[in-house]
A and B are shown apart, each in its own frame.
Chain A
Amino acid sequence: MTCPMLSISDLHATIGGKEILKGLDLQVPAGEVHAIMGPNGAGKSTLSYVLTGRDGYEVTKGQVKLDGEDLLALSPDQRAAKGVFLSFQYPLEIPGVPALTFVRTALNAQRRSRGEAEASAPEFLKLARGAATALKMDFDMLKRALNVGFSGGEKKRMEILQMAMLKPRFAILDETDSGLDIDALKIVADGVNALRGPDRSMLVITHYQRLLDYIRPNRVHVLSGGRIVDSGGPELALELERAGYDKYASAA
């Protein structure tokens, strides 16, 4: 048996001295999509920020390995270059930086970090046009300042567009369904599904089961009180939708 792409063991993490993750274990094999569900305050977003190395999230114990390599020893940009991508729950607005400039800067920085050649202008534009078309986005939107004045749905689409262009090895989707109407949700889910493949894994963090009707996970995990308290197949998500998280809250 091969080792999983992402392996988290006994992970403890604090914010401002308060422990949020309390011994989290999780393994995601290559090519699989796993969902993390859980009540508010369970530590879902904390997990996404710990994996991506955000300042202020301190790991006090445990380890995280991506392809066998210690992820926690790397800076956020180095983790990105290794293929870690976070689709933000609340994507940031970056005034004054056109989306195309931002993505091109990111893509080329990642390529440099991996010792690869930078994308030429025509190559990059072709990539951007292709991604925009697939996500039904107006290409002119990419010439505007990143996310400035975009609707919630447009921002989420822009996240998936960046993911499509950066081709991460391991993607974390944090509440990607929040703020989306059903049409936008389908477009975003189609975009995500198009990126599924044997060399890419995903962690889909969501509060509701709805997203998982469109992005079918291989496994579903329940995060409560800073730990994975239950795991199962896709049917677990339906069960949670019916019964809620109450039984885990009392167990935690």
Chain B
Amino acid sequence: MTLAAAIRTGDAGLLPSRRDEDWRWTDLRGLLRVLPDASAAFAGDAGAGPFSALGGEDLVLVNGGRAEIAVEAGEARQVCLRFVSRGAGRHASVVRVTLGEGARLRLLESYESDGASLAQVDLDIVQAGQARVERVVIADDDADAVTVSQTQVRLSPGSRFSQSVLTSGARRQRLETRILHPGGQAELRLDGIYLLDGKRHADLTTVVTHQGVDGATGQLTKGVVRDQSRAVFQGRITVAEGADRTAARMAHHGLILSDRAEIDAKPELEIYADDVACAHGNTVGALDQDALFYALQRGIPADEALALLTEAFIGEVVDRIEFEPARDIARAWVTARLGGRP
């Protein structure tokens, strides 16, 4: 990983740039001529994260670090995993997660920064058969932060991985998930929400590789961009030769609320198997003016009407979060991000 190498060595020349096809819309090298100093260790109190009220174990990495979460076979755990950046330094984190046969994990993850930090996270998840993970991510970064999160997930037959990533972006931010899908009735849900304003940037990149027969993937990403913000959605699903009876569905829908905001979307289905049911839909557009006038005519002021309609648009993705208390927190976070703003 070139970003990890750049952070380790302090050499800006190692950063991914627009010449890397995969990083074309999230250029780091053009953004950072010089890397910030390595972050100092943080001794203070990191406070509470967005999911802290839900209990479970707390795993907090402040300004980088390493950790492991090993869920034994048959065990069920709930972990609040917080990647916290304090100050304006550079740092990297590595977290290894393993789940034994039939294990269950609720991973409630957050990205919290307060300045012009440069952070990279390498998260690795390996699931044995019948293991289940629900991962809910709230990325609530500072407007000056640069954050890249790179997650690899290895599923086993019969396992299930469900993910909902919510982000408000950063100065530049990429939340990437790569999944090796063995088929064999393993199920995958990969959802995303971006709510951007100001000059924020968010890149939701996913790569799913179906390697065996009878796998299912459902993906729904929705987002709203305002002001001069920019969202990137890159979704690739590859169905390898012989991975028959794969059912994959990908949808991305973006709402542009300002002339100067931008959404770049690249949905890709690469199918090398014969017997598959795959579909993708991608739309980017403005708010329905007829619906807006309807709400205004009923007496709802413009800012409130806009918030109501955009929240309803996003709500479909929030509703898919299975763990209800996390869903409530996600909904409140979306409401706070969209509410009462013209």
Contact = CB atoms under 8 A, between A and B. Distances in A.
Contact of B309 (A81, A85, A94): A94
A149 interface: no
B316 A80 contact: no
A166 B298 contact: yes
Interface in B165-211: none
Nearest to B314: A96
A105 B338 CA distance: 16
B23 interface: no
A105 B298 CA distance: 9
A92 B290 contact: yes
B296 A94 contact: no
A105 B304 contact: yes
Contact of B302 (A77, A92, A93, A96): A77
Interface string A89-117: 00111111100001101110110010000
B298 A52 contact: no
Contacts, number: 73
A77 B299 contact: yes
B299 A97 contact: no
Given A96-B313, A97-B312, A55 B300 contact: no
B296 A76 contact: yes
Contacts of A97: 308-309, 312
Contact of A106 (B289, B299, B312, B316): B299
B223 to A, nearest CB: 15
A86 interface: yes
Contacts of A85: 297
Interface string A40-57: 000000000000111100
Task: Indicate the member of B297, B305, B308 with the most A CB atoms within 10 Å.
Answer: B297
A88 interface: yes
Contact of B297 (A86, A94, A95, A113): A86
Given A77-B301, A109-B301, A92 B296 contact: no
Nearest to A114: B299
Nearest to A81: B299
B291 interface: yes
B298 A80 contact: yes
A75 interface: yes
A96 B315 contact: yes
Contacts of B305: 77
A55 B308 CA distance: 19
B209 to A, nearest CB: 33
Interface residues of A, number: 30
B294 A88 contact: yes
A197 to B, nearest CB: 20
B272 interface: no
Nearest to B310: A96
B42 interface: no
Contact of A94 (B289, B294, B301): B294
A47 to B, nearest CB: 14
Interface in B238-294: 288-291, 293-294
Given A55-B289, A94-B291, A109-B304, A80 B312 contact: no
A110 B315 contact: no
A243 B51 CA distance: 71
B300 A105 contact: yes
Interface string A174-212: 000000000000000000000000000000000000000
A106 B298 contact: yes
A7 interface: no
Given A92-B290, A109-B304, A102 B298 contact: yes
A239 B255 CA distance: 51
A162 interface: yes
Contact of A77 (B296, B308, B313): B296
A110 B295 CA distance: 12
A142 B94 CA distance: 49
Contacts of B295: 94, 102, 106
B312 A110 contact: no
Contact of B308 (A52, A91, A105, A107): A105
Given A94-B291, A97-B308, A97-B309, A109 B299 contact: yes
Contacts of A110: 299
B244 to A, nearest CB: 35
A117 to B, nearest CB: 16
A131 to B, nearest CB: 15
Nearest to A82: B299
Nearest to B315: A96
Contacts of A102: 295, 298, 308
Contact of A113 (B293, B294, B299): B299
11 contacts: A75-B296, A77-B305, A80-B296, A80-B297, A86-B297, A96-B311, A96-B316, A105-B308, A106-B298, A109-B301, A113-B299
In order of increasing CB-CB distance, the 9 nearest A-B pairs are A96-B312, A80-B299, A106-B298, A110-B299, A76-B296, A92-B294, A97-B312, A96-B315, A77-B301
Given A76-B297, A80-B296, A109-B301, 5 more contacts: A77-B299, A77-B305, A94-B294, A96-B313, A166-B298
